[in-house]
């Protein structure tokens, strides 16, 4: 999609039917936070995604559509995910087939919320506490933050490739990478297990006790 020539979507196609979707950027932020929660089962994530993007009140008033919608929930989930990722520009030559697992996490809406707010205010004079921004608009503005802003600078530190840099410069950037590195996403069970292992190792216990 070309943001300069095509209107931003406010409706999505669910099995050939058009339905209103919550296009505000806050829904996208909530969904990303939801998807990053390792303790939430996938079926619960899917349910909450539908509640975020298709509030009942926006559909129930459409004659004969509510019951039809309830029988096409998988298609509604696919449409919501397509909307969520639809802001992305076409891949540039040489980027095709890039493995997402190789991409560094540049941003967290949880840990970076204050810096994102300050950066939008600094660069765009946008107050995110009251702004009405389409999700696609918000993400494109976020990715375009320059390095003079707090969040733009932090995202640069997290993703910069230090290969080939002079030794001192590389050491400086690697230090900044570690400083601003985002915590690994782990489930509560994994975190508790790691804490038990650390406790056992510190107190000279037996790791076989973990079971």
Please state the rounded mean pLDDT for residues 66-72.
78
pTM metric for this prediction:
0.79
Could you read off the pLDDT of 164-209 as tens digits, one per residue? 999 999 999 999 999 999 988 655 565 555 555 554 556 666 656 6
99-127: string of b/e by CB count within 10 Å (b at 16+)? eeeeeeebbbbeebeebbbebbebbeebe
Could you read off the pLDDT of 143-176 as tens digits, one per residue? 999 999 999 999 999 999 999 999 999 999 999 9
**Is residue 11 within a helix (H) or strand (E), and if so which, with residue range?**
strand 11-14
Q: Which pLDDT value is given to residue 201?
A: 55
* Residue 152 DSSP SS3: helix
- Which residues, 6 or more positions from 121, have their beta carbon under 8 angstroms from its beta carbon? 127, 128
Is the model's pLDDT at 40 over the cut of 70?
yes
The mean predicted confidence, pLDDT, of the chain is: 82
pLDDT band at 87 (very low <50, low <70, confident <90, very high): low
pLDDT band at 118 (very low <50, low <70, confident <90, very high): very high
């Amino acid at each position: 999609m070309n943001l300069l020539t095509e209107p931003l979507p406010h409706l999505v196609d669910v099995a050939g039917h058009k339905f209103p979707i919550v296009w505000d950027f806050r829904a996208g932020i909530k969904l990303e936070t939801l998807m990053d929660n390792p303790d939430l089962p996938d079926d619960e994530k899917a349910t909450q995604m539908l509640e975020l993007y298709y509030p009942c009140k926006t559909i129930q008033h459409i004659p004969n559509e509510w019951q039809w919608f309830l029988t096409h929930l998988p298609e509604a989930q696919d449409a919501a995910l397509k909307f969520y990722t639809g802001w992305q520009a076409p891949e540039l030559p040489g980027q095709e087939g890039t493995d997402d697992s190789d991409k560094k996490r540049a941003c967290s809406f949880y840990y970076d919320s204050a810096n994102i707010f300050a950066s939008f205010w600094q660069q765009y004079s946008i107050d995110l506490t009251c702004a009405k921004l389409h999700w696609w608009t918000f993400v494109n503005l976020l990715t375009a933050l320059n390095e003079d802003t707090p969040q733009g600078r932090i995202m640069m530190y997290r993703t910069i490739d230090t290969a080939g840099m002079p030794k001192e410069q590389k050491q400086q950037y690697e230090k900044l990478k570690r400083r601003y590195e985002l915590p690994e996403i782990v489930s509560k069970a994994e975190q508790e297990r790691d804490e038990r292992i650390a406790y056992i190792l510190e107190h000279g216990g037996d790791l076989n006790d973990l079971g």
